[in-house]
Chains A and B, each alone.
Chain A
Amino acid sequence: QQQVKQSPQSLIVQKGGISIINCAYENTAFDYFPWYQQFPGKGPALLIAIRPDVSEKKEGRFTISFNKSAKQFSLHIMDSQPGDSATYFCAASSPYKLSFGAGTTVTVRA
């Protein structure tokens, strides 16, 4: 049973546009929500993360929005650049348990 559902599976955005990836979870014990970025031929790397006591976290062009009541969180990539083309995984964590979404492949067209 998939603990974290991620959508869309892929998206294409023009350079300068906004990429939005959504994730939903069921287990209310999750208390840490990281996003990982993976380039082709590389392993995933932690990009940004949020805890449920805040509704938004921003690091540069990357923003996580978190809706605790809806059990949803999303990643926004502002001013998308070709170098942002990668696969993005959301995840949800509680002590001793980390569940990943299936990933979203983002392609930024120049």
Chain B
Amino acid sequence: ETGVTQTPRHLVMGMTNKKSLKCEQHLGHNAMYWYKQSAKKPLELMFVYNFKEQTENNSVPSRFSPECPNSSHLFLHLHTLQPEDSALYLCASSLDWDTGELFFGEGSRLTVL
């Protein structure tokens, strides 16, 4: 069983909707990440939080808004999305930010109509 839990697993939304993705990790890790996974492309890092502080924002459009209330929870707030934002959104955690050993959740499959 994964130590990183993502909800919802599937989400369909219109371009004018507002929704949120949730991630929770039970591993005692200090860093959490949002990645976007599109077919045939490398995983795209979106945001990194280390000890609840945002340490990286990879030029992500403002229609994606992250929130990290504590080291165990991470949210991705979505509003006014575009159809090209349809993808699998993966949350991951690691013990510290400077490690390449990530533990991923199962992802939230987002479809924007």
Chain B positions near chain A (C-beta within 8 angstroms)? 2, 4, 40-43, 45, 55-56, 90, 92, 97-107
Residues of B within 8 A of A2 (CB): 42
Tell me whether A43 and B40 are in contact (CB under 8 A).
no
Question: B102 touching A4 by the CB < 8 A rule?
Answer: no
What is the CB-to-nearest-CB distance from B5 to chain A, in angstroms, rounded to a whole number? Answer: 11
Query: A96 vs B92: C-alpha distance in the bound complex, in angstroms?
Result: 14
Interface of B: prevailing SS: loop
B107 near A103: Cβ-Cβ < 8 Å: no
Tally of A-B residue pairs with Cβ under 8 A? 55
Contact A4 B42 (CB under 8 A): yes
Determine the distance from Cα of A97 to Cα of B101 in the docked complex, in whole angstroms: 11
> Contact: A46 with B98, CB < 8 Å?
no
A residues contacting B by CB (< 8 A) are 2, 4, 9, 32-34, 36, 41-46, 49, 89, 91-93, 95-96, 98-103
Q: Which of A4, A44, A89, A99 has the most CB of B within 10 A?
A: A44
**Contact A43-B4, Cβ < 8 Å, known A4-B42, A102-B41:** yes
Q: How far is the CA of A49 from the CA of B104 in the complex (A)?
A: 16
| Cross-chain contact B90 with A43 (CB below 8 angstroms) | yes
- CA–CA, A98 and B103, complex, Å: 13
**Distance in angstroms between the alpha carbons of A43 and B55 in the assembled complex:** 23
CA distance A61 to B106 in the complex (A): 25
Q: Which one of A9, A92, A93 lies within 8 Å of B99 (CB-CB)?
A: A93
B42 lies within 8 A of A101 (CB): yes
Considering only CB atoms, which chain A residue lies closest to B4 in the complex?
Answer: A43
- Asked if A43 and B107 make an inter-chain contact with CB atoms under 8 angstroms apart, the answer reads yes
Known interface pairs A100-B42, A103-B42; A43-B98 also in contact (CB < 8 Å): no
| Least Cβ–Cβ distance between B63 and chain A, in angstroms | 23
Contact B105 A98 (CB under 8 A): no
Q: Determine the chain B residues whose CB is within 8 A of the CB of A49 once the complex forms.
A: 100-101
Chain B residue numbers with a CB within 8 Å of A98 are 45, 100, 102
